[in-house]
Amino acid sequence: MTVPHDPPTGGTTPARALVVSSAALFTDMLVHGLAVPVLPRLPAVVGAGSAATGVLFASYAAAMIVATLFAGRVVDRHGPRTPLLIGLGGLAAATLLFATGGPYWLLMVARLAQGIAGGMSWVAALCLIAATTPMEKRGQSMGVALSTITLGVLVGPPLAGLLVEHFGTASPFLFAAAVAVVDGAMRIILVKGSPRVTDDVAGPLAVLRVPGSFSIVLAVVVGAAVLSGVEPVLPVHLKASSLTVGLLFGLAVLASITANPIVGRFVAAVSPRLFVGSGVVAAATALVVIGAADEMWQTSAGMVLLGASSALLLTPSTTLISQQGSRSVPPTLGGSFALYNLAYAGGLAGGPLLTGFAVQRAGFAAAMAVAATVLAGLGIAAVARLPRSLREPVDLA
């Protein structure tokens, strides 16, 4: 994302950039979380079957990946403000279409619009921080912004369940539309001009070429897929209320948030292979437990373990991918997070597709076992070639 001759800030301060970027990422994942307990239970989706439900959930991430590739060019030409506004329009359209409740093809259009909005907003938000924040403070600001993603995922499912219980299935999306209006006002008012990145001169491919990066990408894919894989199939399997389903997913994300700082505290001292390997074992075990559960407490235990596994997989990977950016030629921080976002979106797409088709072919318990096996295989491949330590010498020659 480079235009070296352009002014670095365009009138937008680092504080404003952080607020706008954090709000954009939070809103996107809030809408994503709101959809989790609602979409699989809509009549149009139930009638389409488990495989179609998996496709519906995966389409968000697929559209996000495509939009991410184009968003970089838009940012290069016009700065982050334009894709932020494009993302706002797509998000508003998606929430209103979701509120209609169907038919299936219209929900698919809404999901694709949501993915395009997410791809535009994620890239623009992170580039806005990179364009306005000095390199020495940029990592901290990126961490704050990325933490709002987890917050949005945490709040979305239980809030959706509560709204559905009291106001009907359209209410979560109407609420999301109201949040988008506030978010949009912040994007319009606080982002002045079109600031552009001036010192991140490489993209995600440069980071991917650094030895060890592909293994980190696999770990991120598995970390994103473990939770997204149960999103389209667990609500239908449990036949529980939207509030109960929302609380279950909220429990998983709460476990992840609790585990994140614990893992983060020791990530510099403990081998990434140990953390990621433990995450792979925990994720596979959690999926098997959820698939075999007969009681709600067993499902709850599996969801807690699933959330913890996500932290074990993603927290070390976030730190590792930023270091890989410093080792690329030329060095890049923006390229690191672009690669991370693409890997994360890949997991969000792959998880629902895998479980949706597996449930339709073999049933819920067998599908969870299949998912556990596939993700464990990918995770083992990642662990085998991960850097042994964060303290390995850096050689950019």
Segment among 1-15, 122-136, 168-182, 268-282 with least mean pLDDT: 1-15
| Over residues 119-143, mean pLDDT | 75
d(CA 62, CA 118): 11
Number of residues that make up the chain: 397
Give the dihedral sign, CA 46/52/54/60.
Answer: negative
Question: Taking 90 as the threshold, does the pLDDT of residue 370 lie above it?
Answer: yes
pLDDT at res. 62:
87
Q: For the domain with range 8-199, which CATH number is right: 1.20.1250.20, 2.40.160.20, 1.10.10.60, 1.10.10.10?
A: 1.20.1250.20
Residue 389 amino acid letter: S
Q: What was the pLDDT predicted at 309?
A: 92
State yes or no: pLDDT of 6 exceeds 50.
no
Whether 186 shows a pLDDT value over 70: the answer reads yes
pLDDT of the residue at 8: 44
In the predicted model, is pLDDT for residue 388 greater than 80? Answer: no
Cβ burial of 384 (10 Å; 0-12, 13-18, 19+) is exposed
Write the DSSP symbol of residue 76.
H
Q: On the CB side of 59, how many CA atoms lie within 13 Å of its CA?
A: 18
Provide the pLDDT for residue 4.
38
Nearest-angstrom CA–CA distance, 265 and 302: 25
Please give the full DSSP string across 193-239, using - where no structure is assigned: S----SS----HHHHHTSTTHHHHHHHHHHHHHHHHTTTTTHHHHHT
Residue 395 has pLDDT above 50, yes or no: no
What pTM does this model have? 0.77
Q: What is the mean pLDDT of the chain?
A: 82
Pick the closest to residue 306 from 282, 330, 324 (CA basis): 282
Q: Calculate mean pLDDT across residues 291-297.
A: 92
For residue 394, the model assigns a pLDDT of 37
Residue labelled with tokens 């890949």:
346
Domains 8-199 and 200-392 share a fold: yes
Q: Give me the mean pLDDT over the 153-157 stretch.
A: 79
Predicted pLDDT at 32? 84
Query: Which amino acid does the sequence have at 343?
Result: A
Token pair for residue 52? Answer: 């179609």
Query: Over pLDDT 70: what percentage of the chain?
Result: 89
pLDDT at residue 87 is higher than 80? yes
pLDDT digits (tens, 9 = 90+) for 17-72: 888 888 888 898 888 888 888 888 888 888 888 888 888 988 888 898 888 777 76
Residue 397 has pLDDT above 70, yes or no: no
- H or E stretch covering 126: helix 104-132
Which has the higher per-residue pLDDT, 12 or 40? Answer: 40
pLDDT tens-place string over residues 315-324: 888 778 877 8
Domain ranges of the chain: 8-199, 200-392
Nearest to 146 by CA among 274, 312, 28: 28
Write out the two tokens for 167: 């106001």
The per-residue pLDDT for 333 is 62
Q: Is 294 exposed, middle or buried (0-12, 13-18, 19+ CB in 10 A)?
A: exposed
Q: Where are the beta strands (DSSP E) in the chain?
A: none
- pLDDT reading at 198 higher than 60: no
- Over range 149-155, report the average pLDDT: 77
pLDDT of residue 301 exceeding 90: yes
User: Residue 393: what pLDDT?
Assistant: 41
Phi and psi at residue 38, in whole multiples of 5°?
-100, -50
Instruction: Write down the architecture of domain 200-392 according to CATH.
Output: Up-down Bundle (1.20)
How far is the C-alpha of 369 from the C-alpha of 53, rounded, in Å? 19
Q: Is the pLDDT of residue 3 over 50?
A: no
